[in-house]
Structure 1
Amino acid sequence: MGKNRSSALKNYVFPIILLVSIAIGSALGAFMGKNALIFKPLGDVFINLMFMIVVPLVFCTITNAVASMSSLKRLGKVLGTTITIFIVTGIIAAVIMLLAVVSFPPAKDIVIEGVTPQQFEPLNTAEQIVKAFTVEDFGDLLSRRHILPLIVFSILLGVSLNALGERARIVVDLLSVMSDAMLHLVKIVMYYAPIGLGAYFATLVGDFGPQLLGSYARAMVIYHIITFGYFFIAFTLYAYISTDGRGIGTFWKNIITPAITALATGSSNATLPVNLEAAKNIGVPEDIRNMVLPLGATIHMEGSCLSGILKISFLFGLYGLKFAGLSTFATAIAIAVLSGVVLSGIPGGGLVGEMLIVSLYGFPPEAFPVIATIGFLVDPAATMVNATGDTASAMLVARIIEGKGWFQKT
């Protein structure tokens, strides 16, 4: 128990340092007012470093992840069912948060005046959709403003390399090294994060006032109310559907330990061994749990779908844009699900998802640390939902694959 507590505390040392630096920066901004703008260059350095990394990070990690998959041809029915459930539950989570932020806008009390997103256009025409997913020239892929086309290209190249098998091994190995190198570079840059984020928030609060912090508090209250509501209500419903109402008690009896583990460690992968044991005790067939849970720990993040909508809505409010309309909602849901079900499958996927939001909507670079901070603040609760959702999804897969009598066999 002491070892687990020590490990949990170790996982939160750096986040605590970031929180302290943000608090110090915000206090300086509130005290100094407009004079805090002297710290702006320090914050800009951090923002520029992160955007400098994004293109090679996305290309190397996604291409390597797809090219390295060894089971593209043999996953069959279980994989198809699993992916479908992951997407459907991700959409459900995104829609629930969408309803919440429409009713209670998270950035209601502050608007950054005089700053408007660049080239902001909702994806409501065929031409805009084509431009969102593709570019006219290969060189355009090298811009952070074209993250989504870069993702599409990286996935297709990864599939092509995978299809070549051993002939592509040298390229895949190189991509693996480059992917690790880019992730290590992110770690190096993050050593500067306490200074960069502290300076950025000093500038932000000094320029726009302490009410910005109130908007963060409002966003956190909204997120955690919806997330814990989803945790108890949605997962109870999924357990009911998957066992025809007979396994709700069994589900909650076994899921509490993995949920607490995820909340403490902030890692779905660290929770995986406990989750596998819980699924075994619930009675999920071995082949299903051994496929769904490891896959879910990698590419299934309902908590990230919830936070994706929150981040988009927060930026809309912050920059004085109207978060309304079917096209705006549909685009937001698609981006949230992409971030929570696809991009989460690559290292640094949360970071890429946040950059995707900024780039696709044309928000200025300064918007990135705003939503990156939200992502950091919601991470523990999001991870709890992510890990629990994997077990619930495994039960739903068992119901579809094995039939309604699967739970009676346990």
Structure 2
Amino acid sequence: MTDKKKASLTARIVTGMLAGIAVGVSLQFLMPDKSDFVIPLYFFELSLRSFLVDGIFEVIGQIFISSLKMLVVPLVFVSLICGTCSLKDTTKLGRIGGKAISLYLITTAIAISFAMFLALLISPGEGVNMASDTTFTSREAPSLAQVFIQMFPSNPFEAFAKGNMLQVIIFALLFGIAIALSGKAGERVASLFEDMSTVIMRLVTILMNLAPYGVFCLLASLFTDMSLKVFGNLIVYFLVVFFALILHATVTYSTILKVMTGLNPITFLKKMRDTVIFAFSTASSNATIPVTLETVTKKMGVKNSIASFTVPLGATINMDGTAIMQGVATVFIAQVFNVDLTFSQYLMVILTATLASIGTAGVPGVGLIMLAMVLDQVGLPVEGIGLIIGVDRLLDMTRTAVNVTGDSMVSIVVAKSENQFDEDIFYDENAGSKIENIDFQDLEKNQSGD
């Protein structure tokens, strides 16, 4: 047995991410414009695109994403039930929900307001004479009333199968409250769910240890086909959105955290590294829920009774990153098509995007669908979305990282206000480090939980 020190999970994921980008860029030079590169061998010809990009990278990357998504519904359902049934005072649940939803909507409104101000200041679309030969077909966005109606499942099993997170959350809350009010029978059921929660979190840890390989394949595939020409044409738009995202994540969230809790924002941002990398790689708030939940509870000290509610709720309704993209994109498209928006129309964009975030699913690319609704509200051509499709994937990854940072910040603020927060864990640099690594060669040691 060797005592060789293993690289930290963060270091391994960062290595996988950088290696994936490097391999993807290299392959793009070999296969520009989505062409192919064929290597002649003795008995056959090897196609790099079919074998490597569309084969190995695509398969491993999608298996990694599917594995994370596989955990989302059971993790959210079990964790919410555990958290809810542990609240002896059911009125406390309403108080926690009110605080979380208010903070999520406030940060979203701040995000899109700041983004539009920045876009108007820099004017990324001014002087751009670019006709789009691409179109974007949008799905009809549901009305606000329909969003609230659809929050309540008529068939909870259908909600599980479709991954409808709002419906899963509502059913889990009601089920957890019922357990809390069921006396001895409820206690027995609650004990079962506590054991299930422990097992599921161990499964999360196993998948996290396989993440560097999944991240490598995802990014290698993405950067192989990213159009550098389109990226160059939209560099100003890209930089404005990117700068607004980074500023919101570091300044807005840090200020709210410091003012409302007195905690050190630098410590918070450092402990977000793993979660941010996961979010960036997957571009999905929902797929990142297991990692976000583990980070805020094990590394930051938020009690599970709070985190199991605020984290999945945030992944569903907290879309600050998407709101920033919508704000900048609206201004950009208006400038490209020489449309002057009035002050009331800008206010309409802010209101629409903020409310739309409630019903936005935390999956890759959904921001473009909601942007279509925002553009339609102010009379801008939806076809303008075709202009930004080329660079949206990379921005989608960045704004997902911002979204999960907001989920974690709100979880801490709510937990602190409810005295469900362990400050010692928050300031412990090694908190959560024991769960990051699993020695697959010594399963008996792992079974002890130490």
Which band: TM-score by shorter chain? 0.5 to 0.7
Over residues 100-125 of structure 1, what are the superposed CA-to-partner deviations in whole Å (9 max), with x where a residue is unaligned?
Answer: 01101120121468xxxxxxxxxxxx
Distance 2:115 2:415 in 1: 27
- 2:122 corresponds to which letter in structure 1? F
Report whether the alignment pairs 1:88 with 2:111: no
In the other structure, the counterpart of 1:386 is 403
Over residues 152-198 of structure 1, what are the superposed CA-to-partner deviations in whole Å (9 max), with x where a residue is unaligned?
Answer: 46336536x74xx5xx679x6799599xxxxxxxxxxxxxxx9xx99
Change (3 A) 1:12 1:90: farther
In the other structure, the counterpart of 1:79 is 97
Is contact 1:91–1:337 with CA below 8 Å preserved after alignment?
A: yes
In the other structure, the counterpart of 2:200 is none
Is contact 1:93–1:302 with CA below 8 Å preserved after alignment?
A: yes
In the other structure, the counterpart of 1:155 is 147
CA drift of 1:227 comes to: 1.6
Structure 1: 5+ residue stretches without partners? 26-64, 114-143, 179-193, 202-209
Distance 2:21 2:354 in 1: 27
Distance 1:229 1:173 in 2: 36
In the other structure, the counterpart of 1:183 is none
* Backbone CA RMSD of aligned residues: 4.7
User: Map of 1:343-354 to 2, 5 A cutoff?
Assistant: 343-344=360-361, 349-354=366-371
- 1:367 corresponds to which letter in structure 2? G
Task: Give the TM-score normalised by structure 2.
Answer: 0.54
In the other structure, the counterpart of 1:29 is none
Change (3 A) 1:24 1:364: farther
CA drift of 1:303 comes to: 0.8
In the other structure, the counterpart of 2:267 is 250
SS of the residue corresponding to residue 360 of structure 2 reads helix
Report whether the alignment pairs 1:229 with 2:247: yes
Is contact 1:258–1:274 with CA below 8 Å preserved after alignment?
A: yes
Is contact 1:305–1:337 with CA below 8 Å preserved after alignment?
A: yes
- 2:399 corresponds to which letter in structure 1? A
CA drift of 1:7 comes to: 8.1
Aligned residue pairs total 305
Change (3 A) 1:408 1:169: closer
CA drift of 1:76 comes to: 1.7
Is contact 1:301–1:344 with CA below 8 Å preserved after alignment?
A: no
Report whether the alignment pairs 1:366 with 2:392: no
In the other structure, the counterpart of 1:305 is 323
Distance 1:151 1:223 in 2: 27
CA drift of 1:389 comes to: 0.9
Distance 1:112 1:249 in 2: 42
Distance 1:242 1:177 in 2: 33
In the other structure, the counterpart of 2:447 is none
Distance 1:157 1:291 in 2: 20
Report whether the alignment pairs 1:396 with 2:388: no
Match of 1:326 among 331, 337, 343: 343
Is contact 1:298–1:346 with CA below 8 Å preserved after alignment?
A: no
Distance 2:312 2:160 in 1: 25
Match of 1:288 among 277, 287, 306: 306
User: Map of 1:194-273 to 2, 5 A cutoff?
Assistant: 216-244=234-262, 246-273=263-290
Distance 2:389 2:306 in 1: 34
SS of the residue corresponding to residue 340 of structure 2 reads coil
Structure 2: 5+ residue stretches without partners? 1-8, 35-72, 85-89, 132-136, 165-221, 427-450
- 1:78 corresponds to which letter in structure 2? I
- 1:343 corresponds to which letter in structure 2? T
In the other structure, the counterpart of 1:56 is none
Change (3 A) 1:215 1:318: farther
Is contact 1:250–1:282 with CA below 8 Å preserved after alignment?
A: no
- 2:150 corresponds to which letter in structure 1? G
Change (3 A) 1:174 1:273: closer
Distance 2:301 2:308 in 1: 12
- 2:281 corresponds to which letter in structure 1? A
Is contact 2:349–2:377 with CA below 8 Å preserved after alignment?
A: no
Is contact 2:279–2:400 with CA below 8 Å preserved after alignment?
A: yes
Distance 1:177 1:297 in 2: 13
CA drift of 1:307 comes to: 0.5
Is contact 1:247–1:407 with CA below 8 Å preserved after alignment?
A: no
Over residues 41-72 of structure 1, what are the superposed CA-to-partner deviations in whole Å (9 max), with x where a residue is unaligned?
Answer: xxxxxxxxxxxxxxxxxxxxxxxx9xxx999x
Match of 1:105 among 120, 123, 128: 123
Distance 1:337 1:400 in 2: 25
Change (3 A) 1:156 1:220: closer
- 2:355 corresponds to which letter in structure 1? L
CA drift of 1:390 comes to: 0.7
Distance 2:251 2:367 in 1: 25
Over residues 351-402 of structure 1, what are the superposed CA-to-partner deviations in whole Å (9 max), with x where a residue is unaligned?
Answer: 4203213433334453232244453241121111111111011112123333
Task: Give the TM-score normalised by structure 1.
Answer: 0.59
- 2:143 corresponds to which letter in structure 1? I
Change (3 A) 1:368 1:220: closer
Is contact 1:78–1:397 with CA below 8 Å preserved after alignment?
A: yes
Distance 2:400 2:280 in 1: 6
Is contact 1:110–1:215 with CA below 8 Å preserved after alignment?
A: no
Distance 2:274 2:363 in 1: 26
Change (3 A) 1:314 1:238: same
From the CA coordinates, give the structure whose radius of gyration is larger: 2
Distance 1:402 1:156 in 2: 30
Distance 2:371 2:20 in 1: 22
In the other structure, the counterpart of 2:190 is none
Report whether the alignment pairs 1:274 with 2:266: no
Normalized per residue, the structure richer in helix is 1
